[in-house]
Structure formats: structure tokens, C-alpha cells
């Protein structure tokens, strides 16, 4: 995991969701939560813009 990926994951976790690096190390697998149950999971690029878009910012 790169330092950038680690920062992105911590940022996502800080917003109450989870994330980890995909097996090819190119993307992040992100999961949004609603009342402690997974609502949605998808793979997104490991970039700040993609993370902000996914979070709705």
C-alpha cells in the first residue's frame, strides 16, 4: 500500500465508511454504511478526486 492509498483510506474511514486496496493495488474497494450495515460497495480509482466524488463532495 502506498502512502497516498493509506491517506485516502484513513480519510474514508474518518467519514464512517470502510476501504481497502484492491488485489491489483490500482484501486480502492470502498463500502458505505447505513446503520452499521453495508449499503453499497464498489471499486474506485485511488485518487482524491474519486474519493471526494464517491463521498459526495
Q: What is the pLDDT of residue 35?
A: 75
Q: Which residues span the domain enclosing 8?
A: 3-55
pLDDT on residue 40: 85
- What is the signed CA dihedral for 37, 39, 42, 45, rounded to 10 degrees? -90
Domain count, the chain: 1
The predicted structure's pLDDT at residue 36: 73
Write down the pLDDT at residue 11. Answer: 98
Q: 33-43 pLDDT, tens per residue?
A: 877 788 889 99
Under-70 pLDDT residues of the chain: none
Nearest-angstrom CA–CA distance, 24 and 14: 24
Q: State residue 46's pLDDT score.
A: 97
Amino acid at each position: 500500500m502506498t502512502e497516498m492509498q493509506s491517506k485516502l483510506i484513513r480519510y474514508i474511514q474518518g467519514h464512517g465508511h470502510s476501504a481497502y486496496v484492491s488485489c491489483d493495488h490500482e484501486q480502492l474497494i470502498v463500502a458505505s454504511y447505513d446503520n452499521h450495515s453495508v449499503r453499497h460497495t464498489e471499486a474506485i480509482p485511488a485518487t482524491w478526486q474519486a474519493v471526494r466524488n464517491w463521498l459526495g463532495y
